[in-house]
Amino acid sequence: MRVLRYTVIFLLFLAPVFTLAGVSAVDLPNTSKWYFHADFEQMRSTEAGKHLYGWLQEEVFEEIREDVGFDLDKEADRFTAFSTPNEGIVVLIEGDISQKTEDMVLAMGAASGALDKLESGGKTYYHIKDDGEAGDSDSKINIDFDSFDHGAYFSFALQNMIVVTSTLDAMDSLLANGGKIARVDNAGEALFVLSAERSLVQAGVKTGDLGEELGWDSNILSNTMEAALLIADEAGKFAIEAKLVTKESDMANSLASIIRGLISLQAFNDDLDPEIVDFLQNTSVSVKDNTLTLKILLDPEVVIEAIN
C-alpha cells in the first residue's frame, strides 16, 4: 500500500513544482481532465535532463527506496498519471519492474489484511481496500486522497508496467487494451498536449471549476479553460513552453501585456542577479486568438538551484 501512497505523493509533489501544465509519447484518453508525465529515460540521456534527474535521485528516489524498497532509479523509465470523469485516476509506471518489487508490493498488501486477488480477461490484478472496507483486521491502511476513497487497484500483468487505478472500470479497460483507455466518441474537445523531440516533463489541465474547488477567487483562473507546460532538453538547456487558453482573446492579450510590462520593468533593475536578468531577457510572450504562449531557454543549473 505504501508504494501506491508514495506514487500518489510523487505525483502531488512534482506537479506543483512545475506548475499546472503539458506529451508527445503519451496516448491519453480524450476525456482527460488533467495529466502529468515524466520521462526518466530522456532525463538520463540528455544534458539538461541529467541535472533534473540528479535532483530527483537526491530528493525523491532515495527517500522512496529507503522507505518502501522500490528503486525508481533502476526500475522506472516513465511515469504517467491522468484522470478522467468516469475512470478516475490512473497511474502508469513503465520500466524494468523487478520480481523483487512485485513481491514486495504483494507482501505489503497481504500484510494489510485488505488485499483481494482478482482477474480480468485472464490477467491478474489486485484490490487494496481502504479503512472502511478492510473487514475486522487490525491492520489498517490510510489513503488520504479523495479519488482513492475506495482503495486502489493495481496490476503487474502488462509487460514492463505497473498499473494503478482508483476504479475497477479503469483497470478492466487498461488490461484489455494494453495500458490504454479507449477513446470516447463525441466526448468534446480533448485536452491539448504539447510536444518536443526530447521531452522531460509535461502536464496539462482543464481548469473548469478548479478555482471554486481550490477556494481561489481568481479572475484569471475563472477565465481560463486550459493550461499546459512542457519542459524539454534543447542543446543542453531547459526549453520551457507554457500555454494558457482563455475564454476570450481579450484576457489572453491583457495577460500578455502585463507579463511584457513586468519583464520590461525588471530587466533593467540593477539589484537583480544576472541569472534572473538573463531569464527575463530570454522570455518570449505571444498571443494567437485566445491562446497565450510563453517560451524560455534556461541554464539547467540555474533552474535546479532555484528549485532547491
Give residue limits of the domains in the chain.
2-176, 199-307
Cβ atoms 264, 282 nearer than 8 A: no
Averages of pLDDT over each 10 residues, the chain, 308 residues: 41 37 55 89 93 90 78 88 87 90 82 83 88 42 47 91 92 90 64 79 80 61 84 91 91 89 73 69 88 89 78
Q: Which residue has the cell 520590461?
A: 264
Q: Is the pTM of this model over 0.95?
A: no
Q: What is the pLDDT of residue 165?
A: 93
Who's near 120: CB < 8 A, 6+ residues apart? 171, 172, 175, 176
Task: Give CA 138 to chain center in angstroms.
Answer: 34
Closest CA to 203 of 45, 57, 33: 33
Q: What is the pLDDT of residue 45?
A: 93
Q: 3-state class of 166 per DSSP?
A: coil
**Cα(211)–Cα(215) distance, integer angstroms:** 6
Q: What is the pLDDT of residue 216?
A: 60
Q: What is the pLDDT of residue 70?
A: 77
For 72-100, letters b (16+ CB in 10 Å) and e give bbebbbbbbbbbbeebbbbbbbbbebeee
